[in-house]
Chain A
Amino acid sequence: MSMFSNNPALRWLMHNPIWGFVLLIFVFFSLSADHFFDARNLQNIVVQTSTIGLIALGMTLVMINGNIDLSVGATLALAAAFAVDVQSWAAFATWGNWQILPAVCLALLAGIAMGAINGFIVWKTGVDAFIVTLGAMLGIRGLVFVYTGEQSFYAANFAYSDFSMMSLGPFPVLAVIFVLAVIAVHWLLSRTVHGRNTYAVGGNREAAVNAGIRVGPHMMINFMLIGFLAALSGVLLSTQMGAATPNLGRDYELWVITAVVLGGTKLTGGKGDIIGTLGGVLAIGILRNGMNLMQVPAFYVYVILGSILIAVLFLDKRFNRTQNGGLRL
């Protein structure tokens, strides 16, 4: 370890091993998959990554805070259903393209509201976030089916689905939105008082309470943020598909948690950052894209990702165990 510590770049990699992995698979696919390194494909990766990536930003906040949110996939589906359905309401029929605005606003508000409910219950009842959001996951998914009547909605206004094809200069607008969100959440987490208190609450809740930090509101804000980000992700996903299906976002919570944990955030809270999470979502995005280009069947991607997840955490555990003097527990 000491031989690495002289070089700042290598030292940085030691603390962010996921980026080493991202670099590795990036080089690997660039060399072995034909169209991987095309600008077009790289844009694709960022756009594909942004769906899970946006939610992962929120999940990082919630997990650093010592909680977890399993309801994000269902929230995403609910928001997508709202965004696509509301724009075709008769009340907005004469609004032209402006009819998209109330639809998107309502969808985002629905996401924030779902997060607020989760956060409020966790705050006031003290029930574990895992259980609360597990309930929310089932309940919200049920609401989606009730609302959609098990049908898919299709966007009547073509401007809506055109949005996902737009570009700002060379950059697809979806990628730009994702990058802006990364910067904003990173800034929130590392520079603001709310961000630092999020670490404090997750790192040592008792110490935070003793220091007079109001634990509940911080948790609720983070749940509202993840609700918002899940809804945003749902809206953007529905613009890509021009539709919303009731099964949208199934298993997304698992992908998101995988990405966040790969990025070095501790399940027990107090540790993690957005840089790591970005590495985690990119790792998943590049693997899925690259293996797709190499025509590896999708199930193998699952097997490989699962193995990588366990291997990364195993290495992390080994590393931490030597740090605390090798106590075998």
Chain B
Amino acid sequence: MTMPHTPALQLQGIVKTFPGVRALDGVDFDVRPGEVHALLGENGAGKSTLMKVLAGMYQPNEGRILIGGKTVAIRNPIEAKAQGVVLIHQELSLVPEMSAAENIYLGELPRKSLGRVDWKTLFAKSNAILERLKCRFRAEVTVANLSIANQQMVEIARALTVDARVVVFDEPTASLTDAEKVVLFDIITDLKAQGVGIVYISHRMDEIFTLSDRITVLRDGQYRGTLDTAATNEDEVTRLMIGRSLDLTRHEAPPEFGKTMLEVRNLSCAPLFRDISFSVRAGEVVGFYGLVGAGRTEIAETLFGLRSPSAGEILVDGQPVQITNPRAAIALGISLVPENRKEQGLVLHMNCRDNMTLPQVQDLTSGPFISNGAEIAIFDQYRDRLAIKTPSWKQSASVLSGGNQQKIVIGKWLSMQPRVLIVDEPTRGIDVGSKSEIHTLLRELAAQGYAVIVISSEMPEVLRVSDRIVAMYNGRIMREFDISEVTEDNLVQAISGIKAEEVA
């Protein structure tokens, strides 16, 4: 029996460096048995690195890890699990072609003689775990056929395969509905009552304040302090996190909007979304808010000609149009800044200029050759206009910061003279400073007369940039809010599938 105050897990002075970066700089962290300890910090603050050290995926350069008061070396995830440390990944870490059961026991499938898999035990145990999680699917199903939320449940089920001392939840609710969240919180409370230490990583203050006992904040790889949840408030935590109070002001005084640039009527693309109707006017920013998998990105892809709608019509400038491919979309003045900058937005190893002129390089010719001068002129123009920080156009896009990469993508589309700009998750993986810069930029673009659609999963972001907010759930529009009538509560309700009562 360990003493009640021996931490279940203790990290002391952890230092982890990567070439050129000190990702973790002397971080201390501990979890007591039966407590929920929230770990907070901006993107890039070192939370994930710290958890990877804990799970044995990275070896720390300095510092010690103590489990149950004893120093241990964790060389790989299996050793971590053997020590009772289980990590539930933020990005789904599943093999899509395998069954839920195999994923739950991945790496430690129960065996019979001759290295055979013991299917009976595997399915029995997995089904027992899924029942405990109140999941309404069986362990035999293939993971690829499950919804994102159910895949997340499979990921969580992995934590319950061993007698865990410490379970790390890395943003587990990012894709869960409210009902599923309740189940998850029950599980966490249950684990806690069994004396398991919980590390809970999340950006959502409300969750952290309902669940956690203590809060530790990291910033730029450094330990900023640990607070008792009961004795603190959101503002104090925010200040520790970003070094100042967060500017939550919405933009004011709705400007005069121009005429309707884009209108969508009863657009459907089975089974991804159904019956979508909305419009965007010049000078207006419309925010699309919803959970991952709600169908927002798919609508954008349809408007950009990457998918064929199964029903409904699209009107640009009041004229019905058929958008069968991105080339047609661009010709109509529709541009899409995609969700995944590095994979969909940029050719990472190409230089900044070439990335920016990519969609129009066939028009920038002099004779049979590409006109160098015309390309550089375009690059210079948008570098200045968007304040892109790069030493020269020759710089490879891969080495720029996230914010500057995003500006290159935005610049690329602005140079095509669009009328409608669709921006999908504009600040994903971008640090706080650049984030507000991008927000300001989006507002400025609207003010210059572009019709802007912003798709985002971050509530502060949609609240900050939008004039109107479209809330989506499960492929349908639940409600459309004017920025003046929206509150965090009714927005969360709408995206969780709860019908809003009619406002009188």
Contacts and interface: CB of A to CB of B under 8 A. Distances in A.
Nearest to B92: A207
B272 interface: yes
Contact of B93 (A196, A207, A325): A207
B95 interface: yes
A211 B109 contact: no
B500 interface: no
Interface stretch (B114-122, B175-183, B435-443): B114-122
A180 B95 CA distance: 30
Contact of A204 (B94, B107, B308): B94
B325 A211 contact: no
A329 interface: yes
Nearest to B107: A211
B269 A196 contact: no
A212 B76 contact: yes
A203 B96 contact: yes
A328 B269 CA distance: 13
Interface in A275-329: 325-329
23 contacts: A192-B115, A193-B111, A193-B115, A196-B98, A197-B107, A199-B95, A199-B98, A200-B107, A203-B96, A204-B93, A204-B94, A207-B93, A207-B95, A207-B103, A208-B95, A208-B107, A211-B77, A212-B77, A212-B78, A326-B308, A327-B306, A328-B306, A328-B307
B97 A203 contact: yes
Interface in B306-322: 306-308
Given A196-B102, A325-B298, A326-B308, A191 B95 contact: no
B7 interface: no
A275 B155 CA distance: 30
A128 interface: no
Given A199-B98, A325-B307, A328-B325, A192 B93 contact: no
Contacts of A191: 116-117
The 10 closest A-B CB pairs, nearest first, are A212-B78, A211-B107, A203-B95, A211-B106, A212-B77, A207-B93, A212-B107, A204-B95, A192-B115, A213-B107
Interface size class of B (residues with CB under 8 A): 35 or more
A204 B102 CA distance: 13
Contacts of A192: 114-117
A227 interface: no
A203 B98 CA distance: 8
A208 B107 CA distance: 7
Contacts of B272: 325
A51 to B, nearest CB: 28
Nearest to A204: B95
A327 B307 contact: yes
A270 B109 contact: no
Interface in A172-223: 191-197, 199-200, 203-204, 206-213
Contacts of B102: 196, 200
Given A191-B117, A203-B95, A204-B96, 10 more contacts: A192-B115, A200-B98, A200-B106, A206-B93, A208-B95, A208-B107, A211-B106, A271-B97, A325-B272, A325-B307
Interface of B is mostly: loop
A206 B114 CA distance: 27
B301 A327 contact: yes
Nearest to A200: B95
B81 interface: yes
B389 to A, nearest CB: 31
Contacts, number: 88
Interface of A: 191-197, 199-200, 203-204, 206-213, 270-271, 325-329
Nearest to A211: B107
Contacts of A194: 115
Contacts of B103: 207
Interface in B32-90: 55, 57, 76-79, 81, 87, 89
A328 to B, nearest CB: 5
A146 B306 CA distance: 55
Looking at B57, B87, B89, B117, the one whose CB has the most chain A CB atoms below 10 A away is B117
Contacts of B186: none
Among A191, A196, A212, A329, chain B packs the most CB atoms within 10 A around the CB of A212
A328 B305 contact: yes
B367 interface: no
Contacts of B109: 193, 196-197
B271 interface: yes
B327 to A, nearest CB: 11
Nearest to A194: B115
A212 B108 contact: yes
B317 to A, nearest CB: 24
A196 B97 CA distance: 11
Contact of A325 (B77, B87, B97, B271): B271
Contact of B117 (A193, A207, A327): A193
Contacts of A193: 109, 111, 115-117
A325 B297 CA distance: 12
Interface string B275-303: 00000000000000000000000100100
Contacts of A208: 95, 106-107
Contacts of B77: 209-212
A270 B55 CA distance: 25
Contacts of A325: 269, 271-272, 298, 307
